[in-house]
Amino acid sequence: MSMKLLILGVSLLALYTIQKYIELRRALQSVQYHPGKVVLLAQNSLLGLILPRIPGVLRGRNATWLDKHQPYAEAGWDIVAYVTILPSPKVTFSVADAAAIKEFTTARVRFPKPVWQYKALSFFGGNIVASEAEEWKRYRKVAAPAFSDRNNKLIWNETLRIMFDLFDNVWGSQESIAVEHALSLTFPIALYVLSAAAFGQKISWKDEDTVPANRQLSFKDALHEVSINCVTKIIVPSWAMGFSAYTRKVRLAFDELESYMLDMISSRRNAEKKAERHDLFSNLLDASAEDPTFTDRDLTGISLYSSLQVTKYTTAHTLCFTFALLALYPEQQELLFQHIKSVLPDGRMPTYEDMSLLTYSMAVFNETMRMFPPVNGIPKYSAEDTSMTITNAAGEKRVLPIPRQTGVVLNTVGVHYNPRYWKDPAEFRPGRFLEPDWPRDAFIPFSAGPRACIGRKFTETEGIAVLTSLILRYKIEVLEEPQFASETFAERKARVLTGKPGLTLTPVRVPLVFKRR
């Protein structure tokens, strides 16, 4: 009996293996055996998110960041086909070709966004990121006018207010300020700017947290907790949020912040005298008044998710990596300082009108985002059977078949490190962005096309204001620590610039010292 069961089991396994082999051959044939790799498990599976690389089995966590452009160099094409066997054979194209990326991002009907992958991000309601087609157009119509030039100027002014508050009232007369991790500096800066420029709630470094009588958390604490615990809210199902003190605290923060937002909606709508406000939330409130179908939950969803994404998961991390790069490359820091001084020869702090003149500040910020893009991959899929003509670095052409429902990932890291567009891509060279013909289609930290990040100007305005005001007053150096006294420059660079995967690429530990000029 046991032998019969064994034979039956082996037979079923053999049949299953043959079936998977046939399905795999069909998948490979559907893309005409385009160069790439076959692995057992999908990258977006649970194991793919937590396990390291296992050759032939799993590309491994953080694979996109670690591989950079190498898979494309090996394949000879800037589009490679990753074929996974389980749970069923499937092809996903990974793209580091600028011309193809432009087509994928502009042909929205052929290559829409797989919004089902983003539904977990709708914890406050619908938003631009987690929508497509008519629903996306509806959110975009309300959101686009909110990101106005007046709001950008408010962002600039509030950023400088927060930086002056830091310099004068926190750092004071200290000649040298050491920080164990620069994210402990850049995150509150981004959070305070978010609070003021996005929600009209000014916060300073030494504010005492005042909790209203009908609240359990202050607005500042609720916003802070939500900002740092988005991932917990996404991963843990709502029914499990009460199982520990930590998740209960996270749940409370989300509930409190939503309640604050609803109160703000009510008070601003019902105010007898409308105050002139240019914060993002007020702009959204005004714009949504023209759409009677736009609910309060829509308003909280679009404003909170868009703002939090811009703040923690773009600006704070990018500034942290920027400070690290300037500390590692003092000659670039000096070039930046001298350029700022040439724009501001009288030593005054910059105004919003100066921003367009601060070209080297923008170049440094862009070069950081090229080297450390916040999002490593931008997903799309093919809504129909289609094809695309592609050209490799050698000038060879190929018609690439793209079957319906094929996954596509625009590899931000791959195209940003593609030597076809960027000379010596691993080198920190801000000056490349001052060249008139720098490859704009190969720079996609905010995606590209109609679905490019609507908060790009928010991030850039805040980033340039922080960077310029700080460099005017302080030099940045890597913090000297005894345990690393004998390391080489390459070892120091690798240590300080280490990033880990998350919703965006996150700096692990950036120890710096800021010295008064």
Give me the phi and psi of 411, to 5 degrees please.
-85, 95
Q: Is residue 388 a contact partner of residue 31, using CB atoms and an 8 Å limit?
A: no
Nearest to 193, CA basis, from 233, 165, 226, 234: 165
Instruction: Report how far residue 391's alpha carbon sits from residue 210's, in angstroms, rounded to the nearest whole number.
Output: 60
CA-closest candidate to residue 193, choices 229, 164, 225: 164
CB atoms near residue 406 (< 10 Å): 22
Q: Name the residue among 167, 174, 219 with its Cα closest to residue 189.
A: 167
CA distance 117 to 450: 19
Distance, CA of 468 to CA of 159 (rounded, Å): 11
Cβ count within 10 A of residue 137: 12
Residues forming beta bridges with residue 407, ordered by sequence position? 92, 381
Q: Do the beta carbons of residue 517 and residue 475 sit within 8 Å?
A: yes
DSSP assignments along 292-317, one per residue: TT--HHHHHHHHHHHHHHHIIIIIIH
CA angle 321, 324, 329 (to 5 degrees): 125
* Residue where the block lists tokens 């724009």: 343
Write a three-state SS string for 450-503: HHCCCCHHHHHHHHHHHHHHHHHHEEEEECCCHHHCCCCHHHHHHHHCCEECCC
d(CA 119, CA 132): 12
Name the nearest CA neighbour of 342 among 358, 362, 356, 327. Answer: 358
How far apart CA 214 and CA 156 sit, in angstroms, is: 33
- How big is the chain, counted in residues? 517
Q: What is the distance between the alpha carbons of residues 502 and 228, in angstroms, rounded to a whole number?
A: 12
Measure the CA–CA gap between 33 and 400, rounded to whole angstroms.
10
Structure tokens at 467: 């960077």
453 is in an annotated binding site: yes
Helix/strand/coil for 11: helix
For residue 516, list its beta bridge partners. 474
Q: Give, in order, the Cα–Cα distances in Å from 370 to each of 79, 360, 366.
A: 19, 15, 6
104 and 264 Cβ atoms separated by less than 8 Å: no
Bridge partner residues of 92 (DSSP): 82, 407
C-alpha Rg value of the chain to the nearest Å: 25
Binding site listing for heme: 453
State the binding site.
453
